[in-house]
Homo-oligomer: A and B are copies of this chain.
Amino acid sequence: MASSKPDLNIGLIGTGFMGKTHAFGFSTAPKVFDLPRNIVLHTVADVTQDSATQAAGALGFARATDDWRKLIADPDIDVIDITTPNALHKEMALAAIAAGKHVYCEKPLAPCASDALEMARAAEAAGVKTQVGFNYLCNPMLRLARAMIEAGELGDIRGYRGIHAEDYMADAATPFSFRHDPVGGGALADIGSHALATAEMLLGPITEVMGDCVTMIGTRPDGRGGTRAVEVDDVGRAFLRFANGAQGSVEGNWIATGRQMQHDFEIYGTKGALAFSQQRFNELHFYDGCDAPGRRGFRRIEAAPEHPPYGRFCVAPGHQIGFNDLKAIEVAGYVDAIAGDGAEPFGFCAGHRIQTLVETIQTSSRHRAWKSV
C-alpha cells in the first residue's frame, strides 16, 4: 500500500558480509516494527559497477554505482551506511557528514580513538544522527539483563566477567590481513570491543583498566610466498573497575580453538547473578538469591514476548530470533532516532568510547600499568 510515512532513502557502501547483513536489517525492520519512516533501498556502491549492480539486484537496491562519492553527493539519499573495510570508515563518514547525511557505520568506528572522536564531533556539529553497528547489544536478553540490573533484581553489582572468543585466527597459516594491521587491528579491537560494549551497556562506565595484550602467532604468511611479522594481540584481556563500584575482567581472543561465538558474561550482585552466552543467545540464566533455601539455582529464561522486542518477531515464546534479526532491531532503533528527538542507541560517541577503551587497554598492556579511562 502507498505509505503515508516519509521516505528514508538509504545509500549503502560495501556489499560484503556486513553489507549483506545491513541489507537484511533494512529489509526486515519495516516488516517487524512499525517504523516512523518508509525505508527505501536507494543506491548501493561497490568497487566496480558490475559488482554494485549485482549486489543491487541481490539485496534489493534500486540503483548501483561504483563511486561512493557520487552516492554521498546524491541529494535524495538520507542515510549513508558504511560497511567497507575499517580503514575507509573515517574518510567516508566525514564526507557523508559534510554532506549533511545521517551516517550508519559498521564497527569499529575507526582504527584509532582520535579518528573516532573527530568523526563523533563532526557528526555532533552537523546535527546528524549516527549509529555504529554493535549488534549483540540489541539482543532482547541483554536488554532484559540491563532491565533486571536497573530494577535492582541482582542487588548491588559486585563482579563482572566478560569474554568474546572465537577461533578464526587460530590457524597460523591464515594470512596476514587488514585485521593484523598495527593500527586498529588485533583481537581486542576486533572482538574484545564487543565484550567491552556489552560490559558498559550492562554495568555502566569502566573507570580503570589493566591490560594484557599478547601476540601468540608472531608471523603469518604475507600472501606472496613470504611471511610478515604480526604485532597485534591474539588475546587481549583486562582487569576492570566500574564507576558503580564493581570490578571484573574482560577478554578478547581470536585463537580460541573450537569457539565460534563465545560472547559470554557473568554478573554477580549482592542478591542474585546472571550468566549469558551468545552461543545460546535466546537464553538468560538468572540466579535469584531470594528463592527458598534448597530451591535455588540458575534458571534458564527463554526468550519470549515478555522480553521486548522479541514479540515483534514472534508472538509465541521459544521460537528464537537469529543474528540477522539483531540487525533489524539495530536498524529500527536508528530509524526511531532519526525520526525523533531521542538519542541514538549507539552513536559515534559510543563508538568512540569503545575505541578509547580498547586503546587504553592496549596502552596499559604496553606500559604494564593500570590506566584510568
Contacts and interface: CB of A to CB of B under 8 A. Distances in A.
A144 B294 contact: yes
Interface stretch (A100-108, A119-127, A317-325, A347-355): A317-325
Interface stretch (A176-184, A193-201, A283-291): A283-291
A78 interface: no
A279 B302 contact: yes
Nearest to A249: B237
A356 interface: no
Interface string A16-45: 010011011001101110100000000000
Nearest to A64: B1
Interface in A287-332: 287-289, 291, 293-302, 304, 306-307, 313-325
A298 B287 CA distance: 11
Contacts of A20: 31
A132 interface: no
B60 A30 contact: yes
A114 to B, nearest CB: 27
Interface in A216-271: 216, 234-235, 237, 239, 247, 249, 251, 253, 255-261, 266, 268-271
Nearest to A307: B294
Given A300-B297, A370-B368, A53 B273 contact: no
Contact of A297 (B1, B53, B281, B302): B302
A317 B278 CA distance: 12
Contacts of A60: 30-31
A325 B263 CA distance: 22
Contacts of A172: 270
Contacts of A304: 260, 294
A2 to B, nearest CB: 9
A56 interface: yes
B30 A24 contact: no
Contacts of A34: 58
A192 interface: no
A314 B21 contact: yes
A115 to B, nearest CB: 26
A238 B253 CA distance: 17
A47 to B, nearest CB: 17
Nearest to A291: B299
B317 A322 contact: no
A212 B239 contact: yes
A15 to B, nearest CB: 12
B296 A273 contact: no
A296 to B, nearest CB: 7
Given A1-B61, A216-B247, A293 B306 contact: yes
A372 to B, nearest CB: 13
A28 B34 CA distance: 17
Interface in A149-163: 154, 158-159, 161
Contacts of A144: 294
A46 interface: no
Interface of A: 1, 3, 17, 20-21, 23-24, 27-28, 30-32, 34, 53, 56-64, 144, 154, 158-159, 161, 166, 168, 170, 172, 210, 212, 214, 216, 234-235, 237, 239, 247, 249, 251, 253, 255-261, 266, 268-273, 278-281, 283, 285-289, 291, 293-302, 304, 306-307, 313-325, 368-370
In the A-B complex, list the 4 residue pairs whose CB atoms are closest, starting with the nearest. A260-B318, A322-B322, A258-B287, A261-B318
